Amino acid sequence: MAINDVIHHLPMTATPPDWPGGYWWHWLFFTVVLIGFVLAMVMGAIYIERRVLGRMQSRLGPNRTGPFGLLQVVADGIKLLLKENIVPSNADKVVHVLAPVVALVPAMMIFAVVPFQDGALLADLNIGILYIVAISSISTVGVFMAGWGSNSKYSLLGAMRNIAAVVSYEIPMVLAIVGVVLVAGSLSMNDIVLAQNIPFILLQPLGFLIFFTAGCAEINRSPFDLMEADSEIVAGFHTEYSGMRFVIFYMAEYTEAIAISAIITTLFLGGWRGPLLPPWLWFIIKVIIVFFLMVWTRTTLPRVRIDQLMALAWKFLLPLALVNLFITAVQVLVWPDGLPWLMVVINIAIMVILILIWSKLFKLGWGRVEV
């Protein structure tokens, strides 16, 4: 077998192999691969973020540990592992200790339904996207446990902000997903990728913007990072964490960022589809591109305030998401067998017009005193 075949046909198939207990081999294999993939991607993401931040801020970024500073993440990890795990004396100890795990595990579980190749995923659930929406909200519980269990006012403020943000942003996010589901005609992640002869970022440009914004808000990426706003409430919910538990929170944060990037890739960028390169490589490249966008916004924008965050969700994103859903539904009704290329132009035009109108109606600093 040529090496090319090996690369293109990694042992990733939806149907379990024919050997005895093949079903369980499939599960075991994918679980190991996924955990490895997630950990590697998290390390890569941290490295990329720090280097890109450095580059954009006209400084060097980490470049001392290993070639190009590649081992910086490892060095930081080892340092944090060797540190003492401090539990505040008046903390709710069980909750405090459990919180990082509750935050990390759901973020990792998202990858169970993300396809790396046609049919190459842990579980091809026919309600894949619904599963993601359900699972991703559980991380919030971990964050609130951390805020409550630390017995610190900074942590509690951060956790309260997080709950408020997630509750608000879940709604436009899900509505944006519904638009994609309508066009694709399926809730399965694999089928959604297969349906994207035209990437949905072109057919659903407004949905993409809404999902990206809401996704950033849900995973505390700037400019919506006010749950751990370092200049205001020190580190938000993980102020009181140190050592390994801090590492787990840190990992959870980046796992969520990678997960949102992977979901955006799958829903809007055509997932693993692409010419020449093997599918899984396409998938990783697209994930990194989306993650880069997040880093870019982080270096560029100031942070919004909590009431502005709420206003943006309820007054800007939600109406737009509803309008987007309505327009998509009408389009799908007219062309039940898939939208034609013409709709790309029309939808982009609709997006631009809607955003312009809404920007006139809604200003972020609504209610700010004009003197």
Partner 1 sequence: MTTTEMALKTEPFVLNIGPVHPSTHGVYRMRVTLDGEVVLDMEPVFGYLHRGVEKLAEERSYTGFIPLTDRLDYIASMSNNLAYCLAVERLAGVKVPERAEYIRVIMAELQRLANHCIVVGAFFNDCGAYFTPFMYLFREREKILDLFDMVCGQRLTYNYMRIGGLSQDIPDEFLPALKKFLPQMKRFVDEYECFIKQNEILLARAKGVGILSRETAINCGISGPVARASGIKWDLRKADPYSIYDRFEFDIPFGEAGDCYDRYRVRMEEIKQSLRILEQAARQIPPGPVKTEVPHLIRPPAGEAYAHIESPKGELGFYLVSDNSIAPYRCHVRPPSLINLTALREMVRGWKVADLIIIFGSIDITMGEVDR
**Binding positions for partner 1, rule: CB under 8 A:** 53, 56-59, 153-154, 157, 160, 222-223, 225-226, 229-234, 298-308, 363-365, 368-371
Measure the CA dihedral 54/55/61/65, to 10°. 150
Least distance to partner 1 from the beta carbon of 133, Å?
28
Least distance to partner 1 from the beta carbon of 48, Å?
15
Residue number, 33 or 52, with CB nearest to partner 1: 52
With beta carbons less than 8 A apart as the criterion, state whether 271 and 265 touch.
yes
Q: Which two tokens stand for residue 179?
A: 């638009």
Report cis status (omega within 30 of 0) of the bond before 223: yes
Tokens 């004396």 found at:
89
For residue 331, the tally of other CB atoms under 10 A from its CB is: 20
Residue number, 198 or 364, with CB nearest to partner 1: 364
As a residue count, the chain comes to 371
3-state secondary structure 286-338: HHHHHHHHHHHHHHHCCCCCHHHHHHHHHHHHHHHHHHHHHHHHHHHHHCCCC
Residue number, 160 or 348, with CB nearest to partner 1: 160
Identity of the residue numbered 52: V
Least distance to partner 1 from the beta carbon of 321, Å?
20
Residue number, 52 or 101, with CB nearest to partner 1: 52
What own/partner pairs with CB < 8 Å and gap ≥ 24 does 52-57 have?
52/292, 52/295, 52/296, 52/299, 53/295, 53/298, 53/299, 56/296, 56/299, 57/299
Least distance to partner 1 from the beta carbon of 49, Å?
11
Least distance to partner 1 from the beta carbon of 305, Å?
5
Residue number, 74 or 167, with CB nearest to partner 1: 167
Least distance to partner 1 from the beta carbon of 356, Å?
14
Considering only the C-alpha atoms of the chain, give the largest distance between any 2 of them, rounded to a whole number of Å.
Answer: 76
Residue number, 175 or 233, with CB nearest to partner 1: 233
Least distance to partner 1 from the beta carbon of 54, Å?
9
With beta carbons less than 8 A apart as the criterion, state whether 205 and 167 touch.
no
Residue number, 9 or 55, with CB nearest to partner 1: 55
With beta carbons less than 8 A apart as the criterion, state whether 162 and 141 touch.
no
Residue number, 284 or 295, with CB nearest to partner 1: 295
Least distance to partner 1 from the beta carbon of 166, Å?
17
For residue 326, the tally of other CB atoms under 10 A from its CB is: 11
Residue number, 200 or 224, with CB nearest to partner 1: 224
Residue number, 10 or 234, with CB nearest to partner 1: 234
Least distance to partner 1 from the beta carbon of 297, Å?
10
With beta carbons less than 8 A apart as the criterion, state whether 158 and 236 touch.
yes
Closest CA to 208 of 290, 115, 129: 290
Closest CA to 117 of 32, 34, 8, 18: 8
Least distance to partner 1 from the beta carbon of 303, Å?
2
Question: What crossing angle do the helices spanning 318-334 and 205-218 adopt, rounded to 10°?
Answer: 140
